[in-house]
Amino acid sequence: MRGLGLGLRFVLAMLIMAWPAFAENRVALVVGNAAYQNASALANPRNDARAIAEKLAGIGFDVILREDLDGQGFRVALGEFSEAALNADIALFFYAGHGIELAGQNFLIPVDAKMKSEATAQFETVPLEQVLTAVRSARKLGMIMLDACRDNPFAATMTRKNGTRAISRGLAPVSVEGEKGLLISFAAEAGRTADDGGAMHSPYTEALLEVIGQPGMEVGRMFRAVRAKVREKSGGQQVPIEQAQLPDEDIYLVAGAAPLQTQPQTPPPAPKTAIEDPLLTYLKAVQSRDRAALEDFISRYPDHIRAKDARALVEDMVEQEIWASATTEDTEAAYRNYLLVFPQGAHRADAEARLAALAPPATPEPPAAAYTGSCTALTGPVSVAGVPFGETLAVRAAPDANAAMVGELPFNAAGLNHYGCQNNWCQVEYGCTVGYAFQSYLTDQGAVPVASPEAGYYAVVDHPLDRMVPVQSGPSPQYAWVSELPPDATGVYVTDCQAQAGNPVPWCSISWNNVSGWVSGQYLMGSNGRKPSVQVVAPAPAAPAPSTTGQSCFDLWYARNQIFANNGYCFTSSEGKKWFDNASCYTSDPSLTAAEKAQVNQIKEQERAKRC
C-alpha cells in the first residue's frame, strides 16, 4: 500500500508540474540575428536563440524559431506570431542580435539593413512597438526578452538627421504605465551595452537558461534571479533591467515544487524509424498545400535544394492570408499593413487602387500641373527668399505641410505669380509648377536672386534626336512631366542644380522660351564644354535660417532650441538635457541677435500653424 501511495504522489506531482502545458496556450517567437551583411557578424545569437527555443518548447510553448532574418522575413515572422498570440494565454518574444535607439524609440535590426542614415534607418528596421502590439494580445501575460543591447556597429557610421544629435549606445527604457500583464526584460541598463559572450552564449542568455525552467519560480522572482546571476558573472559591469506590470495572479512558467525522487527506470528502447526521403516529404507538403508541413520541411532540411521553393510557397500562403484579411476588413489600415509587409506583393496594384478609392478627396484642389507644351512666363513679382543656399522650397498639393509634394522651387527662384494666401500658405505658379508654398519663404520686395555656381546658358546634348527631353515639376523623375525641350535646344538657362542622394547626375532648374521646370543634368552642357557638377558647394552663412518647412513638430522644436543652445542656454527639463549638452552652458536667459530672434519667431509661427 505504501508503494501505491508513493506512486500516486509521484503522478500527482508530475501532473502539477505539467499543468501549465496542458491548461494554457503558450506561444513564443525566438529570433537570433548573427550574419549581418553590412557589419561584422555576431558570434552567439544563433546559439542563444536555439537554446532558448529548446528550453521553451520543453516547458509547454509552441515555438517559432527564426535565424538571420532580413527585413521582409522579420515582418512575416512577426505577422505569424501576432496571429498566434491572439489565442494565447502567454505570448513570449526573445531576440538576440543588434538593436538601436533613435529619438527615444527602440528598433531591432534585420541582417540586410544598411543603416546609412538616421533618416532611412527607421524604414529598414523593425520597431519594438510592433512587437509590443503582438504580445499585448495575450490573455494573461506578454513577455519580451531583448538580448539586443550589444555595442552597435552602425552607430558610428550613420548620418545623423541633425549633426548635433548623438545616436545612443544600448536601448532606451520602455514605459509600461497603464499596462496590465506585460513584462519587458533588457540584457543591460538603458544606454549601456551588453556582452556578446566569449563562450557558447551571452551572459544574459546563459542566466536565462539556468533559471527559466526551475519549478515553482514566479516570473518576477525569475527575472530578479537573472539580474543577480548576470551581475555576478560580469563583475557588476552588466546589469539587466526589466519593466513590468504583472497581472494580479502569480504566473509560473513551471509550477509546483521539484518532482519526487523515485528509483531510476531503464527507458524503453527507441522505436526504429524508417529513413525519410526529404524530396518525397516536400512533394507531399506541396500537394496538400499544408503550411505547417512546409514549415516543418524547412526547419528539418534548411539546406535542401527545395528549401528555397518551400520558403517561397510559405511566404505566398502568408501573403494570401494577409490579403484575404485585408479585403474582408476593407480599410485603409488593412491595405497599408499588407503593403508594409509585401511592398512588391502580387496584390500591390489592387491594394493601391483600394487605398486611392478609400482616401478622402484633397481640398482645396490646386490647378492641374499637366503637360501643356509651354508654361507661364517667369515674369511675376514674387521671389523665393530665406531658403538655405542650394536647398529647395517644397510646392504642395494643398495648403498643408502634410499634403503631397507636387514640385520644388530652387532657392533663388524669381518671377513667381501668387493668387492669395491663407494660414501662412500661398498658391503660387512658377512656369509649369503650380501649388502651395509656405508664405515665410516668399517675398514681393524685389529681392535680388542669389546666383548659383551652376547658373548660366547650356545646350541639350547626348539625347536621341527623335525624342523630346522631359521637363519635370521637381528634381526627380517621380514628379509630373510638365513640358519638353527639343533634343537640339540651345540657350537653355540654368538657375540652380540639385545633387540627389545615390545619383551621380544632378537635376537642374531651367527656363527656355516659355518652358520651365527641372531637367536631368546628363543632357546639358555649357559653352565651355562642362556639364553641371554633381556637388554644389555652398558658402557657410554666419547664421543660417533653419530649414523647417514641412518638418514635424519635433524638428521645429529642435531647430528653435538649437538657437538657444548655441548661445549657452542651460536646459532644465529632462527632454531638453537629452538632446542638448549642458556641460558648457552658462545662462538661462541668452542674449539673441536680431537675426536669431527673427528665426525663433519664424519657427514659432510655423509651430502655431501646425498646432504644435
Residue 214 CA to residue 211 CA, distance in Å, equals: 5
- Predicted pLDDT of residue 177: 83
The average pLDDT across 103-132 equals: 88
Q: Which residue has the higher pLDDT, 269 or 337?
A: 337
pLDDT at 7: 41
Between residues 612 and 522, which one has the greater pLDDT?
Answer: 522
Residue 435 has pLDDT above 90, yes or no: yes
Grid cell 527506470 in the structure block, residue: 265
Q: For residue range 449-504, what is the model confidence (pLDDT) as tens digits? A: 677 888 889 999 888 777 889 999 998 888 888 889 998 899 999 989 887 766 77
63: CB partners within 8 A, 6+ apart: 27, 28, 29, 30, 53, 56, 57
Mean pLDDT of all residues in 365-392: 70
Q: Could you tell me which residues come within 8 angstroms of residue 506 by beta carbon, excluding any fewer than 6 positions away?
A: 454, 475, 497, 498, 499, 500, 521, 532, 533, 534, 536
pLDDT of residue 54: 95
DSSP secondary structure of 220-257: HHHHHHHHHHHHHHTTTS---EEEEE--SS--BSS-SS
Query: How many CA atoms does the CB half-sphere of 457 hold within 13 Å?
Result: 6
CATH architecture of the domain with range 25-245? 3-Layer(aba) Sandwich (3.40)
Q: DSSP label at 547?
A: -
SS3 (DSSP) at 178: coil
- For residues 440 and 48, the model is more confident at 48
Q: Give the pLDDT confidence score for residue 565 in this predicted structure.
A: 80
What does the pLDDT look like over 311-347, one tens digit per residue? 989 888 989 989 998 899 899 888 888 888 888 888 9
The predicted structure's pLDDT at residue 588: 72
Task: Give the chain's mean pLDDT.
Answer: 81
Predicted pLDDT of residue 222: 93
Average pLDDT over residues 285-310: 88
From the centroid of its chain, how far is CA 41?
21
Distance from C-alpha of 200 to C-alpha of 198, rounded to nearest angstrom = 7
DSSP state of 523: G
Strands of the sheet containing 126-127, edge to edge, are 99-102, 105-108, 126-127
Pick the residue with more confidence: 170 or 240? 240
Locus of grid cell 557657410: 540
Which residues, listed in sequence order, are joined to residue 93 by a DSSP beta bridge? 29, 144
**For residues 97 and 575, which has the higher predicted lDDT (pLDDT)?**
97
Element containing residue 12 per DSSP (H, E): helix 2-23
| pLDDT value for 265 | 57
pLDDT at residue number 571:
79
Cα separations in angstroms, 422 against 279, 405, 602, 612: 69, 18, 16, 18
pLDDT exceeds 50 at position 544: no
Phi and psi at 338, nearest 5°, equal -60, -45
Burial 332-347 (b: 16+ CB within 10 A, else e): eebbebbbebbeebeb
pLDDT at 244 over 90: no
For residue 155, the model assigns a pLDDT of 67
Question: Is the per-residue pLDDT at 148 higher than 50?
Answer: yes
Residue 598 has pLDDT above 50, yes or no: yes
- Residues for the chain: how many in total? 612
Which residues, at least 6 apart from 374, have a Cβ–Cβ distance to it below 8 Å? 483, 513, 514, 515
Q: Provide the pLDDT for residue 224.
A: 92
- 205 has a pLDDT exceeding 90: yes
pLDDT at 551: 65
Cα–Cα distance for residue pair 549/101, rounded to 1 Å = 26
The residue-averaged pLDDT of 572-598 equals 75
Q: Which pTM does this prediction carry?
A: 0.42
Please state the domain extents for the chain.
25-245, 278-358, 367-540, 553-609
> At 300, is the pLDDT very low, low, confident or very high (cuts 50, 70, 90)?
confident
Does residue 364 have a cis bond before it (omega within 30 degrees)?
A: yes
Please tell me the predicted confidence (pLDDT) of residue 501.
Answer: 65
| Spatial separation of the C-alpha atoms in residues 474 and 145, rounded to whole Å | 46
Instruction: Round to whole Å and give the CA distance between 459 and 68.
Output: 52
- Burial class from Cβ neighbours inside 10 Å (0-12, 13-18, 19+) for residue 475 reads buried
| pLDDT tens, position by position, 171-190 | 778 887 888 899 999 988 87
Please say if the pLDDT value at position 247 is more than 70: yes
pLDDT at site 3: 40
- Exposure string over 140-173, b if 16+ CB within 10 A, otherwise e: bbbbbbbbbbbebebbeebeeeeeebebbbbbbe
The answer to whether 480 and 404 have CB atoms below 8 angstroms apart is no
* CB within 8 Å of 251: residues ≥ 6 apart: 90, 140, 141, 218, 219
* Cα(56)–Cα(65) distance, integer angstroms: 11
More confident residue, 85 or 376: 85
pLDDT at 234: 85
Give the per-residue pLDDT at 152: 67
Residue-wise over 426-436: b if at least 16 C-beta within 10 A, else e? bbbbbbbbbbb
**Listed range (22-31, 57-66, 113-122, 499-508) with the worst mean pLDDT:** 499-508
**Average of pLDDT values for 157-177?**
60
Whether the per-residue pLDDT at 9 is higher than 80: the answer is no
Does the pLDDT value for residue 112 go beyond 50? yes
pLDDT of residue 6: 35
- Determine the Cα angle at 563 with ends 561 and 569, to 5°: 70
Q: The C-alpha cell of 512 is what?
A: 527656355
Task: Give the separation between CA 566 and CA 592, rounded to whole angstroms.
Answer: 10
Beta bridge partners of 483: 471
Neighbour-count burial for 183-201, b at 16+ CB within 10 Å, e otherwise: bbbbbbbbebbbbbbeeeb
pLDDT of 69: 95
Under 8 Å CB-to-CB from 353, ≥6 apart: which residues? none
Is residue 545 pLDDT above 70, yes or no? no
- The contacts of residue 574 (CB under 8 Å, 6+ apart) are none
Q: Would you give the DSSP letter of residue 578?
A: H
Average pLDDT over residues 18-40: 80
Q: What are phi and psi of 511, to 5 degrees?
A: -140, 140
For residue 290, pLDDT beyond 80: yes
Q: Which residues contact 573 (CB under 8 A, 6 or more apart)?
A: none
pLDDT of 538 reads 40
pLDDT at residue 183, as a whole number: 93
Whether residue 14 is predicted with pLDDT greater than 80 in this model: the reply is: no
Averaged pLDDT for residues 357-375: 57
Q: How far apart are CA 408 and CA 474, in angstroms?
A: 5
